[in-house]
Structures are given as structure tokens and as C-alpha cells.
Structure 1
């Protein structure tokens, strides 16, 4: 096994040689892709090679200097500056059909990590900055900035004390950014640290330490306001609670890889983990956790693929991997699949149309109308799995969720591969940027310390003029909205509105955006007023800030208003408690169907974490509270059973505190006694205390 120091020495020797030696093309003998399954490495060797590629321990100033020297040499030899799209790739076209790219704007920080803030500004950071080289072994610094897309200005907000390179991050309910893990030192360790960036004061605060150091974890916000941290080295997941305390999730130890997992909060308030590897898991994150379902997504390891949740419970997973496809070996897939988490315990998987070209290192960004834009990436892994400028894909592609088809759009000026990002802005544009900071990148002279904006076709008139479209305007909207609660939006164009939707603010790095999701909302129209119903569950819309868009019948979206979705009230992810102080409980936290429910002293455990779902089912561990065989007779016991859409699993939640089966509303859910382990049954409604519930 090659040691890390040997790998770094090899990388630096290669760079030193390339700085003055001959080269053909834009790259010369870069290290191979870091997939130990492809070339026989152990997981430990793969991990060391991965971090060696990320140039751990090398000052960013030195990375930039050497990269620039290589870029200048390659440009002299080939006539093409590394990172620029090939001549003719960016053809002029009607922006109403193909969209339009902005000029490139330089930045002082490479957009490797991008979080869109509730005020529309963007927090961006990369790695260690321009301090004396001898200080970097401690990795006690992070270059960071707040970027304003309105006028392309920036404010440096560098962090002292740690290097947040390779950290995971997500929005907290108050709009602040939780960052977990990072790069501890030149000896390859992750960090146990967490930090919170305050978007209002634009300052950093150190949080509680995790139990174990992480490097390449993902962080996902949940219905109860907690954040789940998975991957990055440790096998045991952890939960960042709303009080800032971090607790272990010992019943989930299925993912430890140092590559960002694909995760999302599901409508049933559980956590879905569905990539990049198989199998995927459904996880109850209450208490010490439980795996409540496991499903295969497809047969492809979609490493450095991307995903986007474009509808309630529905997620597009696209590209990634290194396979033989269309008769060509060592290429990322161009295929895409849809995961539907609304169908029961495990997500249903269906295929959709494929992109025009395979991609990895790309970004799939949900747009203001719920369509999905794919930008950047590479179409081959034959040379390297991180960067190959000769295999760049610079055209954008747009996926239509109604037709399931892709449309090829115009091409960017810059190549965006490893360490590039893309995120939706409140004005409906997509901010793209970054690329570089790896050994193969440095050898190729590839470092994109800049951003570009893409304006999708929906922002332009469809008459061929290239002029901006007339946009609907939200003239009034509430600052906060509730789960399932009605609110009003005022727009002079209300009569022509075809869609109302919320979009989560992006938290994107390494092709993974944990924050974005499109949530269509139901509404009615009267004059200039839209009466809108809030998201159906906290699993669909975890508490926090969202962009509220209205889209007209011509497909043109408004500029977004920022609204804060409140934490879901009980009964979402909460106990069902009767008036005697006992809660509905799953004996032994059993995950099996036909387990009869009981009541037990309320203890905030996962056995009592229930979800009243949008279809009036009462879900426990992904299964539904069920009247066995629809036997609506007084005294019938209630069990949990796989959700199947039948009336035996639907309940009427009354203002009088009763819970009644819709199949016979003369019966009420009841506890058989006030003692622990009392049976849960349906009995003739009488107004008794054992039939009254709070949720």
C-alpha cells in the first residue's frame, strides 16, 4: 500500500515535471480515478488516494501558483487556455429556446462550497488561504466570502481556527448555515468540529463537537428541525439537535464512505438515503434511530452523480459513475431515474429519459418552475475521474418533469468539473462557479476562480427577439407560513398564474445539493389574491427559509419572495397522546407488519414518533396504523401494516380529540386501560377519556 506521503510526493513530482516538461494536450498522465473497485485498491488505499487528489496539506496559494504556471505553459503549447470551452461550443441561439450565459466574473474564493442565504446573497468558501506557507500544517484557516449576485460584489468572511474544506453543510431553521467536519491537518484527519454561519451578522460561531471526525459527510435538515450527519469516515450517524447538542444515531451504521451521500427528508418525515451507492435506506431519526426500509435504486454506483427533488417525495437522480454504456467503456452514465417516496415504506423507482451525454462532476439544479437544469461535468473517466478537459460537457440540459424529456441548451464559457457548484437564485437565474483544487486539476492548469450565471429559457420572450419576458410580480406575501395552513399572496397577474411553489435554498458541493427541493402548492384565485395552502408535512418542507415563486401560464416565473416555513406542529413526527398521559407505542420498536399497537408512558422515543400523513394515514416506521381486514367492530385491535391506500388505514382527526376510522366514524381509537402496554383498539364512541387524544 502506498502511503499518503508517497502519493503526495508523486503528485508534487508530477507537477514539478509538468511545469517545465513536454506535454501533449491539456492533461499529461494524471493519476487514475479514485475508485478502488475499478483498480483493485482497498478502501484505505482509495481513501488515501482520494485525499491526495484533493491536495491535503498543500497551501492554496501554492496550488494557485502552480496551476497558473501549468495553464500558461499549456496555453502556449496548444493555443487554448485550460478551462475554456472549445471554439464553437457556445453557439449563439435564441435565449427563449436555449437560455443565455452571462460573462465570466472573477472571484477571490473558488466556489467549491456554495450556500444561498435567505437574503439572496451567497456564502462561498474553499480551503486554506493566502497565509505564510509554514502555517498551513495546522489548517487553521478557511477562505470564505459572501457574494452578492445583484451587483457582483463580495465581502470576505474568512474563518480562523479550522479548514472547512471537505465539510458537509445545510441550512438551520433560522436560515443560518450549519457546517460539520472538514480538513484537520496535513495528516489526512477529518475534524470533529461544527460551525454556524449567521447570515444576518455574517459571522461564524463554533458549535459542539461531533463524536468522531468527518471528511466528506452530508448534512440533511429534518421535519423536527434537527440535522442528520452521515458519512465522512465514521459509520455511526449523528444528529445535530435544535438545542445545538449532538447525539449519536447508533442504529444507523450503514454508510461511512468519504464521499458525500445523497440524502433527503421524505414526506413521511423519515430520512431517505439513496446514493451514490446501493442499497438505499429509509431511516427513522428519532431517538437512537432505526432502519425502516431498504431499496435498490439501480445497478449503477453513481459516484459524482447528482440529484434534485422536483416534486413532493419525487427525486431525479442523474448521471455519475464509471461504466460501459452505449458500447463505450469508462464513461459516466447518461441515464436518470426517479425515486418516489410517497408510495410506501420503500421508494418506487422508475426510469426517465436519458441525457444526450453521460456526465459526472455535474450539477442538477431544480429551477423556479420545478424543471431540472444540468450543467457542467465530464463525459469520460478513461483518463481521470475528477477532471478531463478534453471530455468536458459545457452545454446545459433541461429536464421537463411533465414529459420526462431532456432539451439541450446553450453552452457555458468555462468548463465546470471537479469542485464546481451551481445553485438557483431568487431571481430565477442559476449561479455556476468553481472547479479545480486537485492534483489532476493542477497538472492540467485547471482552476476556475470565478462565476457565471445561466438565465434559463423561461426568462425570455418566445418571439425570437431575445428580450426578457414579462414576469409576474408578487406584490405581497407573508414572511412566514405554516404546514398545511392557508396564506395569501397578492399579484396583479393572479388570474394568469399556473403554478405556485416553494424552492429550498441550495447547499451544494461535489455535485450534491442537500438544500434544494421544489414543493408545488395548492391554491385558489380570487381577483388579485392567491389563497395558497402550505406544504402538507414537515417532511416535505423542513422548517426554514424558502423561495416562493409564482409561474404564469406562459411558463415565466416571478422573482421569489423569501418565506419562512414554520416547524410542523404536532402530530407530525410526534406522539399521539391520550388524556390519561399515555402515548401510542410500537412494542419493542418492532419494524414488522402485524405488530399490534399499545399505549405506554410517553418517552419521546422512536417507538412513539408518529406521522399524520397527507392522505390521513397515521404512519409509524413507514407503515400505517391499520384496521385488520377492515373489521370495523367494537373491540378490534389496531396493528401496523404496509401502507396500501385502503380505507382501513385512513383516519378522521376530530376537533373533539377523537381519532376515527373513516370506514366507520361511529368507532373511536381507544386505549383499553390506563396502564402501560394497554391494547389500542377501536370501540363505540362514548366521549370517554381513553378515546380522547392530542397530537
Structure 2
């Protein structure tokens, strides 16, 4: 059990402890795995959490039959399909977090290696893919009565978007960057409909950072608090003003020179933006594969993945990468921000690169990265192992109850369950991070009431209960987390904001109940409009989250 005597330390001693996060080392807990379904019928390479507590998951459509039939005798007819012109199986499902159930969805065009973002009204906009899907926009509007499905808009995109990345912007538009052979970007919705203007914009940085084997697919995009985009491709990165189509500044290349984007497939997050302590945007990039790994893997030689992480404070006058060493080399790993600001690094392999049959040595043990610990040697800890390898085309998302949902893994051209080293995996798991351990129940907050709609810079209140509460102000924080569209080791649109608090107090006459006055995010550049998961974090332990709408 946690030593609650620590909670009564003086402010100065406490502040030193909290800065190193030694207050809560998560005891002996390494987290727990839970099998949700032995099969959901598809192997989801794409996932998106929606604000009605459902997760939309989908695969590609051009590999033949899945293991889940479409209902009501529905079939997909596609003369352009490279595997099966008439297909009566589903390639997308809608998973219900609350009931642990799922239902099939109908997607018509090929979604292979596509991208997505959620609009401010909660609509998922899903872009591109392969073959007849490479210029398609698909939308999915969350519904409560389970009669919603995909709606598709063929040829909406101006260019082929296969392996592109998306980012929601402060004005509610989505920017779509890159893709195979595409050194340009465009917007959804279209900014200009007139044929006398270009609907896409050239971006030479993508051309400059690509080469024959390593390429720079699924570039890492992060919206910075100044409204510009941080864009990372292979080893180089810059700040980009997409409104003026100009490079604001280029940052130093990551120090070890290992490529990080597909097919080298590291991962990246924008670390939490803290309005309480002051905004200092910082990027974390971990994993990847040395130059030449993809070529070698296609010839049966599997090189060890990268074991390094780099942190870059992009707002500094002369920023430089600070390198750290992970306990396990990792390629094709996913990085997800947890509600307390830590990062979980999960899935992937020790050897090889992304692509069909290109990975070896699956890593079944996630790694926890403690973002705020000042001592680098305390930052990483290895968590409990899953019995299931999650290799190429696996995916992961954070859900409001604090768990991490994990699915996918299909390193083959088609679904293949026999006579292969890593069979196609149709199961769905949940990982419970250490903070969900029962030993933290006394200090775990639970939200009782809150404001659903939060304005920029506007005061709102959150009421919560916790059995053993510390009045130390630095032990409490209110955080919002944008749900990610995750595919190919990159959680697009993921961000966390630590909000400013005005005051907090005990509610008279109600035991263990407290109310905190909070300021909404200051600008749309810090938190673009839309739905977020809101968490109360007490002594590094988060509450179950609730959905709020910003802006």
C-alpha cells in the first residue's frame, strides 16, 4: 500500500518529490492485460475513439474475406477490388466500450493505410487509402441508436492520400499531409472550390527527406501553441506556417540519425501542454529503425530497431535534442499519452521494419515513460507482458476509463492463421496501466458533476469525490485529452492540456467531496475545438474520464 505519510510532507519537500515523481512509483504493479474478445472478425489497423464511448475500427478491404459477415444479406460490390469483387464480410466494426460488444459496419472503398481526424462536431473524417479509395473522404457520425454507418465521398481529395497524416486545426479544418509519392498537402473541407485556384500545396520538405527505401510516410504532425505545425520526417523536423505555406524554422536533425517514419516506424507525441505552470511545447520521438533496415528486411536480414528517444523543446531559442535510452529497442511501437501525463510505449518488434513479413522479435511488454521525472534513469519502467504479439498493422487507443484498447496485427498480404510465424490476430485486448491497480482506490478521484461545454478562457467547475484527499495544490490537476486516430505507430491529433485552476474546496456537509474552479483552455491553438476526455488527476492517479466539448 502507498505510504500516505508522504502526503503530509512540507511544501518544499513535497515539491521536490513531485518533480521527480517519486511520490507514486506505482508500487509493485506492472499493469494487467484483459482479453475482451478472442475475435472481433477483423484485424484493425486503424482505430478512433468517439465521444459516445465507442471505438471505430477498420482494416483494408482488398485482401478478401474477413471473419465477420455483414448483416441483412448486405454485400460489397467493387469491380476495382484486387482480391474479391463481391464481398459479404465486414472490414470495419463499431466497438462499444460500455457493453464490450461490437457490430459490423459497411465500408465500400479501400481504406488501406489511410488517415483521419474528428471534426469539432464529433464527426470522424477519414481520408484516402489505396486503389479506388485513395482520393475518397469517408465520414462517420456517432449515433446512440446504432443505425449509423460510413458515408463516402469519392474523388473528394485532390491527390492520392496513401500513408498520409492528418491534424485538426484551430479553425476546425483538417490538414492532410503527404502520402506515397505526394510531396504536398491539402485541407478538408476544401478551402477554395474555384477551379482557378489549386486545391493542394507543394511541400518540398517531404521531397527532401524521402529516399528510395526509407521514405517518410506518415510524417509526424503536431499542432504547436503558436498555431504552426511541427512536422517530423525521418530525421529532420521544422515548424511550418500552413496558412502562408512557409517554413518558420528548421530544427536540428535528431542526433543518432536513425529514421523514425514509415517504414522505419518509430512514434511521436506532443508532451502535455501545461497552462498551469506555463506552456513549453516539447516533442518526444521514440523508436524506429536504422537506415537500411527496410531494404535488409526485404532480403531476410533483420536489424535491431532503435532504442533511443529524443526530446526537443521547440520554443527555445536554440533547441537541441536530448537523447534517452529505452530499455528495449522497438520498431512499430505505439506511443499513447496516459491521463496523468505519462506515455505508454506498446506493441511492435525488436528487429526489422514495417511492411509485410519485415518484423521479427515481437515485444509483448509495454514500457512506461514517466514524462515529468527529472532523473532520466528513473523515466522508463517495463510493464507486464501480453500473451499476444502485436506486430505490423496493430493499433491502440486510450479510452475514458483509463484503459488502453489494443488490437490488430497482420504482417501478411492476406489474413493468414496457419503455417506462419506470426498469425493474423483478430483478438481485442485491454491493458490496465498501473494507476488502475486496486491499491490506489483510496486516492483515486471520481467525477460527480461537470460542465459539458467549455469556453475558451471561461471558468467552469468540476465536483469530485476521493476518499483520502491532500489539500496540497500540486497534487491535483484537471486535464483534457483529445482522442487519437491511431494507425501505423502514430496517434494523430493526440494532445493533452493541463488546465489552470482558480481554487478548490471541500463541499460542506458532504464527506470526501470537493469542487474545483477551472479555466477553459486559453486558445484554439492550444486546444482545437471539439470533444475531449476530461480527467481529474490526484496524486498521479486519474479519475475515470468524462466527455466535454471545447469551444
TM-score band, normalised by shorter chain: 0.7 to 0.9
Mapping 1:291-690, distance limit 5 Å: 291-298=247-254, 299-302=257-260, 303-312=264-273, 313-322=281-290, 330-343=303-316, 348-381=319-352, 387=357, 391-403=361-373, 404=376, 405-439=379-413, 442=416, 443-462=420-439, 471-493=444-466, 498-523=476-501, 524-527=503-506, 528-553=514-539, 555-566=540-551
Q: Give how far 1:239 is off.
A: 1.3
Q: Residues of 2 paired with 1:456 and 1:324: CA distance?
A: 35
Map of 1:154 onto structure 2 = 102
Partner SS state of residue 134, structure 2: coil
Which structure features the higher share of helix residues?
1
Q: Give how far 1:551 is off.
A: 1.0
Q: Residues of 2 paired with 1:381 and 1:472: CA distance?
A: 43
Q: Give how far 1:309 is off.
A: 2.1
Preserved CA contact (<8 Å) 2:302 2:360: no
Q: Residues of 1 paired with 2:369 and 2:327: CA distance?
A: 11
Q: Residues of 2 paired with 1:305 and 1:316: CA distance?
A: 11
Preserved CA contact (<8 Å) 1:353 1:406: no
TM-score when scaled to structure 1? 0.61
Partner SS state of residue 525, structure 2: coil
Q: Give how far 1:445 is off.
A: 4.7
Q: Are the structure 2 counterparts of residues 476 and 397 from structure 1 closer, same or farther at C-alpha, using a change threshold of 3 Å?
A: same
Preserved CA contact (<8 Å) 1:459 1:469: no
Q: Are the structure 2 counterparts of residues 406 and 213 from structure 1 closer, same or farther at C-alpha, using a change threshold of 3 Å?
A: same
Q: Residues of 2 paired with 1:95 and 1:157: CA distance?
A: 42
Partner SS state of residue 353, structure 1: strand
Preserved CA contact (<8 Å) 1:387 1:440: no
- Asked if 1:120 corresponds to 2:120, the answer is no
Q: Residues of 1 paired with 2:323 and 2:538: CA distance?
A: 26
Partner SS state of residue 29, structure 2: helix
Map of 2:3 onto structure 1 = none
Q: Residues of 2 paired with 1:476 and 1:242: CA distance?
A: 39
Map of 2:14 onto structure 1 = none
Q: Are the structure 2 counterparts of residues 115 and 132 from structure 1 closer, same or farther at C-alpha, using a change threshold of 3 Å?
A: closer
Preserved CA contact (<8 Å) 1:168 1:180: yes
Q: Residues of 1 paired with 2:522 and 2:491: CA distance?
A: 22
Q: Residues of 2 paired with 1:192 and 1:385: CA distance?
A: 22
Task: Provide Cα deviations, 1:353-389, integer angstroms capped at 9, x if missing partner.
Answer: 321111011111110111000111111129x866567
Q: 1:99 aligns with which of 31, 38, 42?
A: 31
Q: 2:242 aligns with which of 280, 285, 289?
A: 285
Partner SS state of residue 82, structure 2: helix
Q: Give how far 1:251 is off.
A: 5.1
Q: Give how far 1:469 is off.
A: 6.2
Instruction: Flag the structure with larger Rg.
Output: 1
Q: Residues of 1 paired with 2:538 and 2:77: CA distance?
A: 54
Q: Which runs of 5+ in 1 are unaligned?
A: 1-93, 567-695
Q: Residues of 2 paired with 1:280 and 1:408: CA distance?
A: 29
Q: Are the structure 2 counterparts of residues 413 and 151 from structure 1 closer, same or farther at C-alpha, using a change threshold of 3 Å?
A: farther
Partner SS state of residue 458, structure 1: helix
Map of 1:252 onto structure 2 = 203
Task: Provide Cα deviations, 1:518-577, integer angstroms capped at 9, x if missing partner.
Answer: 211121212322111222332221111110001112x221111111111xxxxxxxxxxx
Preserved CA contact (<8 Å) 1:389 1:415: no
Q: 1:192 aligns with which of 135, 151, 156?
A: 135
Partner SS state of residue 160, structure 2: coil
Q: Residues of 1 paired with 2:428 and 2:381: CA distance?
A: 23
Q: Are the structure 2 counterparts of residues 235 and 259 from structure 1 closer, same or farther at C-alpha, using a change threshold of 3 Å?
A: same
Task: Provide Cα deviations, 1:141-198, integer angstroms capped at 9, x if missing partner.
Answer: 87111101223200111112x111111111111111111111125xxxx621111111
The range that moved more, 493-502 or 398-407, is 493-502
Q: Are the structure 2 counterparts of residues 104 and 148 from structure 1 closer, same or farther at C-alpha, using a change threshold of 3 Å?
A: closer
Preserved CA contact (<8 Å) 1:267 1:341: no
Q: Residues of 1 paired with 2:477 and 2:55: CA distance?
A: 26
Preserved CA contact (<8 Å) 1:97 1:462: no
Task: Provide Cα deviations, 1:437-466, integer angstroms capped at 9, x if missing partner.
Answer: 534985535211111111011111448xxx
Map of 2:160 onto structure 1 = 213
Q: 2:185 aligns with which of 237, 240, 261?
A: 237
Q: Are the structure 2 counterparts of residues 492 and 295 from structure 1 closer, same or farther at C-alpha, using a change threshold of 3 Å?
A: same
Q: Residues of 1 paired with 2:395 and 2:27: CA distance?
A: 22
Q: Are the structure 2 counterparts of residues 210 and 323 from structure 1 closer, same or farther at C-alpha, using a change threshold of 3 Å?
A: closer
Q: Residues of 2 paired with 1:356 and 1:440: CA distance?
A: 33
Q: Residues of 1 paired with 2:442 and 2:106: CA distance?
A: 39
Q: Residues of 1 paired with 2:442 and 2:347: CA distance?
A: 26
Partner SS state of residue 93, structure 2: strand
Partner SS state of residue 126, structure 2: strand
Map of 2:174 onto structure 1 = 227
Map of 2:7 onto structure 1 = none
Q: Residues of 2 paired with 1:265 and 1:455: CA distance?
A: 29
Mapping 1:74-93, distance limit 5 Å: none
CA RMSD, 1 decimal: 3.0
Q: Are the structure 2 counterparts of residues 367 and 533 from structure 1 closer, same or farther at C-alpha, using a change threshold of 3 Å?
A: same
Preserved CA contact (<8 Å) 2:265 2:489: yes
Q: Which runs of 5+ in 2 are unaligned?
A: 1-25, 66-74, 208-214, 274-280, 294-300, 507-513
Q: Are the structure 2 counterparts of residues 191 and 538 from structure 1 closer, same or farther at C-alpha, using a change threshold of 3 Å?
A: same
Q: Are the structure 2 counterparts of residues 323 and 243 from structure 1 closer, same or farther at C-alpha, using a change threshold of 3 Å?
A: closer
Preserved CA contact (<8 Å) 1:338 1:351: yes
Map of 1:667 onto structure 2 = none
Q: Give how far 1:314 is off.
A: 2.0
Map of 1:612 onto structure 2 = none
Map of 2:296 onto structure 1 = none
Q: Are the structure 2 counterparts of residues 235 and 119 from structure 1 closer, same or farther at C-alpha, using a change threshold of 3 Å?
A: same
Preserved CA contact (<8 Å) 2:356 2:411: no
Map of 1:137 onto structure 2 = 82
Partner SS state of residue 341, structure 2: coil
Q: Are the structure 2 counterparts of residues 314 and 537 from structure 1 closer, same or farther at C-alpha, using a change threshold of 3 Å?
A: farther
Mapping 1:262-281, distance limit 5 Å: 262-275=220-233, 277-281=234-238
Higher relative contact order, chain-length normalized (CA < 8 Å, sep 6+): 2
